[in-house]
Amino acid sequence: MKRIISTTKAPGAIGPYSQAIEVNGTLYISGQVPVDPATGKVVEGGITAQTEQVMKNIAAILEEAGYTFADVVKSTCLLSDMVNFKAMNDVYGEYYKETPPARAAFAVRELPLSVLVEIETIAVK
């Protein structure tokens, strides 16, 4: 059975997709960008601040669905420039101090809203 996950503590979808979908104990979180749900605007402050906001958005969706970062098994990190990888990785690592998930990281030509980072997440119960 498919369950749609939605919370106002993370930014709403900016297109025809859900914040997250849960199917048979697996949670698929759509790529999160560094939009502050309180303002609806991209956070300022560079890659560190943007990654922190992305991780807060992921945390809010995980919580709404009844999951934690310990349940995350895979992340895909999209960066506007690989020069930002280390700073993104430093923030990301703060959320996965033990048993980090599998992960891929790519530089892409452009991200929605001209952000520096987007992260999608899969979690399993």
Domain that holds residue 9: 2-124
- The helix (H) or strand (E) run that includes residue 73 is strand 72-79
| DSSP 8-state symbol, 64 | H
Give the count of beta carbons closer than 10 Å to the beta carbon of residue 36.
15
78, pLDDT greater than 90 = yes
What's the domain count of the chain? 1
Cα-based distances in Å from 3 to 8, 64, 65, 100: 17, 12, 9, 26
CATH number at residue 42: 3.30.1330.40
Give tens-digit pLDDT for 12-57: 988 899 999 999 999 999 999 999 999 999 999 999 999 999 999 9
Q: Residue with structure tokens 């996965």?
A: 96
Give CA–CA dist 47/51, Å, rounded: 6
How deeply is 120 buried, as exposed, middle or buried, from its count of CB atoms within 10 A (0-12, 13-18, 19+)?
middle
To the question of pTM greater than 0.95 for the whole model, the response is yes
pLDDT score of 39 = 96
